[in-house]
């Protein structure tokens, strides 16, 4: 197959250049094997060149690039249109090619020094990068250059004063660039030289632009994963402020954003789709863990009062989380009972019950029970701080006892031949094995599977750890 024509290559180039970084990265990975004079090889070369160009751009504009996402209209913090950064990059490449080449050489020298592992620090390309940023900053004020004018218009369209905020970000970019390698220390240690260094960087930023304080922390947050770790740096700079002082400052949006995110997570936990399967259960459980982490951050780095404001709101959120999780755990009891059905026999007041083994396990009931137990399993590590440790321990132990009792009864019926079909008994035991593993451990699952295979030996059992496949 021949390569694409020049006209088609230009069409593909335009499409690739307008795609988000994530898409370009995905294309690059997908086309790694494309070689030779093929259509895919032509596209691969184009994508590779675009990816390398963006890597250089993102390195040069590293302090502000993480804030350039989507259309730049996010209400959760300061963001700028991704296209604005692309336009500025295009403009600076056209207007300052010598500076771009200097940045390329500096980047290559730093990479070579790092690869050589000579025991000394690699060359820092920061000065070359900052020179390009300074050129872009100056060009933003020059309405004669089309790309920069278009970028400013996009920023202003995304939010009032967007272009001025972007320009301020470029102004303090060198300070943020110096701070980036130190962020790990700033977020893992407190006090002493660490706090002093963070305070100095903040003062340097506001010295350049008095209104740059919040933007400085926004740019730092963009470098952090998760972004709300920036609360630690804010606390260090402000010497662990009390709630009233921080709430009245221009930085009040940062803790409020975390509290809003907690509210969103609590709503998602309350709406967990039991038919969503194990991954839904795990994902919802991770939300509960996230809430405990975020509440810990706010409580640790800000002096709060439980009687009002953020402290009161956070206390209510913790109570809500505990209530939601306990509700989900109690719901799991009913779902497990439905997945391992029992039937009653006998007459009068004294009636006995036993496993209902005359039909295959219900896929829907089993799926819902697995979703609930995957949730319960995921939240176990955050139960103590989340305030639901006692409820979690009590209910999971009760579930384990119920499942183990069910297993013993099924095995007893299978040994005595008191089952209509050994294979149905085996299927119910495999369901119980999957469930017990989530409230005990994997060894419990393996034990039940081995006992089921030994007792119901008329058919080869699935491999240990293999999920039971149930017909709908």
- Tens of pLDDT, residue by residue over 273-309, are 999 999 999 999 999 999 999 999 999 999 998 888 9
Q: Whole-angstrom Cα distance, residue 154 to residue 30?
A: 32
The H or E element containing residue 96 is: none
**Torsion sign across C-alpha atoms 285, 287, 288, 292:** positive
- Does 456 or 134 have the greater pLDDT score? 134
Task: Note the pLDDT of residue 350.
Answer: 47
**pLDDT exceeds cutoff 70 at 24:** no
**pLDDT exceeds cutoff 90 at 264:** yes
The number of beta carbons lying within 10 Å of the beta carbon of residue 128 is 21
Q: Decide if 404 contacts 374 (C-beta within 8 A).
A: no
**pLDDT exceeds cutoff 80 at 412:** yes
- List Cα–Cα distances, 10 to 5, 13, 17, 25, in angstroms: 9, 5, 10, 19
**pLDDT exceeds cutoff 80 at 69:** yes
Mean pLDDT of 458-464: 46
| Mean pLDDT, all residues of the chain | 87
User: Any idea where the domains of the chain sit in the sequence?
Assistant: 6-58, 62-112+123-171, 265-343+356-455
Task: Note the pLDDT of residue 271.
Answer: 96
Phi first, then psi: give them for residue 64, nearest 5 degrees. -115, -15
**Torsion sign across C-alpha atoms 53, 55, 60, 66:** positive
**pLDDT exceeds cutoff 80 at 9:** no
Q: What percent of the chain has pLDDT over 90?
A: 65
Contacts of 55 (CB under 8 A, 6+ apart): none
**pLDDT exceeds cutoff 80 at 321:** yes
What pTM was computed for the model? 0.84
pLDDT tens across 339-393, in order? 999 876 544 444 457 888 888 999 999 999 999 999 999 999 999 999 999 999 9
Q: Whole-angstrom Cα distance, residue 123 to residue 129?
A: 13
Q: Which of 5-9, 29-33, 286-290 has the highest mean pLDDT?
A: 286-290
pLDDT tens across 326-343, in order? 999 999 999 999 999 987
Q: Which of 23-27, 42-46, 50-54, 270-274 has the highest mean pLDDT?
A: 270-274
pLDDT tens across 197-246, in order? 999 999 999 999 888 899 999 999 999 999 999 999 999 999 999 999 99
């Amino acid at each position: 197959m021949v390569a694409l024509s020049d006209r088609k290559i230009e069409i593909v180039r335009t499409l690739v250049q307008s795609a988000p970084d994530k898409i370009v990265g995905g294309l690059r990975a997908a086309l790694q094997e494309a070689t030779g004079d093929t259509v895919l090889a032509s596209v691969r070369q184009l994508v590779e060149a675009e990816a390398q160009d963006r890597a250089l751009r993102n390195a040069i504009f590293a302090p502000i690039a993480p804030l350039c996402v989507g259309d730049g209209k996010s209400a959760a913090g300061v963001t700028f249109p991704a296209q604005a950064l692309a336009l500025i990059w295009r403009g600076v490449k056209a207007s300052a090619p010598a500076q771009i080449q200097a940045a390329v050489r500096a980047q290559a020298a730093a990479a070579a020094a790092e690869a050589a592992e000579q025991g000394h620090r690699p060359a820092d390309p920061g000065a070359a990068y900052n020179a390009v940023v300074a050129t872009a900053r100056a060009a933003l004020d020059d309405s004669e250059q089309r790309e920069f004018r278009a970028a400013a218009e996009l920023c202003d369209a995304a939010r009032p004063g967007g272009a001025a905020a972007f320009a301020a970000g470029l102004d303090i970019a060198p300070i943020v660039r110096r701070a980036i390698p130190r962020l790990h220390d700033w977020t893992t240690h407190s006090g002493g030289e660490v706090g002093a260094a963070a305070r100095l960087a903040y003062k340097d930023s506001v010295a350049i632009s008095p209104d740059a304080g919040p933007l400085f922390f926004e740019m730092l947050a963009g470098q952090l994963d998760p972004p709300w770790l920036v609360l630690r740096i804010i606390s260090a700079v402000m010497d662990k402020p009390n709630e009233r002082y921080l709430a009245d400052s221009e930085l009040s949006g940062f803790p409020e954003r975390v509290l809003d995110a907690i509210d969103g997570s609590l709503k998602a936990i309350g709406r967990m789709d039991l038919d969503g399967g194990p991954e839904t259960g795990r994902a919802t459980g991770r939300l509960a863990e996230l809430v405990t982490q975020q509440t810990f951050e706010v409580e640790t780095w800000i002096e709060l009062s439980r009687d009002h404001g953020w402290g009161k709101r956070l206390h209510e959120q913790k109570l809500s989380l505990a209530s939601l999780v306990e509700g989900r755990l109690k719901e799991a009891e009913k779902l497990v009972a439905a997945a391992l059905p029992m039937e009653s026999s006998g007459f009068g007041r004294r009636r006995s019950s036993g496993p209902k083994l005359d039909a295959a396990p219900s896929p829907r009931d089993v799926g819902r029970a697995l979703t609930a137990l995957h949730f319960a399993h995921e939240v176990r590590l955050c139960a103590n701080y989340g305030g639901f440790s006692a409820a979690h321990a009590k209910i999971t132990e009760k579930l384990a006892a119920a499942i183990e009792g069910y297993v013993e009864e099924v095995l007893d019926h299978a040994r005595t031949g008191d089952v209509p079909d050994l294979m149905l008994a085996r299927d119910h035991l495999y369901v119980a094995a999957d469930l017990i593993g989530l409230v005990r451990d994997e060894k419990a699952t393996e034990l039940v599977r081995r006992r089921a295979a030994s007792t119901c030996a008329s058919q080869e059992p699935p491999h240990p750890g293999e999920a039971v496949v149930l017909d709908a």
